[in-house]
Structure 1
Amino acid sequence: MSDSVLDRIRQNRNRAAVPLRDDPLIAKPQSSEGKTSEVVEPLRTKDRSDSVISAGNTLEDLKTELAKFPETHRHSAIVLEKALDQDLTRYCKDHRITVEVFLEAAWVQVAQDQTLMQEVLNEAKQRYQSRKAAGKLRRLITMLDG
């Protein structure tokens, strides 16, 4: 019975009609005079490849251009000390970058210097131990409070 009710609901629903719109990434067809109906200025992007994106690019061209960039992967949320988070966020905003991009760049630079890498690793281990101790205290407080 639920299938027939669901089918009736699907049949009776009215969907709003959405008007067609021009897609700026698809080239306009040639008119009868041999001229395009619209002149499109290419947009310059500010990336390291300084590629040109124009309305004439096809989906395949765009995919080929995208393949030139490194693949990214979303990582879990980052938990930082409150003051450090505020400082880092402000620094990144002032330089018009994201915290994630800053961390990527910092990793690339640190990975090239083993002495600096060891210093960072030692700092990280100290911070990790501190976080573990704070977590144990929070857990104990919660157990005693509740």
Structure 2
Amino acid sequence: MSPAELTERVRTGVPLAGAWGVEVLEAAEGRALLRLPQRDDLLRPGGTVSGPALMGLADVAMWAALLTLTEGRDESLTASLSITFLRAPPPGAVLAEARVIKKGRTLSYGEVTLRAEGSADPCAHVTTSWAAVPRLSGRG
């Protein structure tokens, strides 16, 4: 899938990603780079990007990376997400670089590094696992 096709898939599958304006900048086999644009409504007191916004971006980024391995048909769900906040990102866009470390039949594992756009220093590191959901008959 192209980054534009993946952006559309992510925004359709997670409407909050569309509301926030999340876009896929790059996508390759088991990897994805996403951008969360600067939004005043995602800032917390003190002017930094909020933790919930960073966690949401990381979650969507990992799903995008999984979608690159499944031709856009991944229905797995987040089983765990652990985030370590390393530094407060300044107001502005945030990038999330996701990488699938292990894609299993029932459980997948990956990591996401978040950083302020224009900075090489990570603001957060995420590890996450995803559980495959059996396809139910009658589901679209």
- TM-score normalised over the length of structure 1: 0.24
- Bigger relative contact order (CA 8 A; separation at least 6): 2
Specify which structure has the higher proportion of helix.
Answer: 1
- TM-score normalised over the length of structure 2: 0.25
Q: Computing the radius of gyration over CA atoms, which structure comes out larger, 1 or 2?
A: 1
Specify which structure has the higher proportion of strand.
Answer: 2
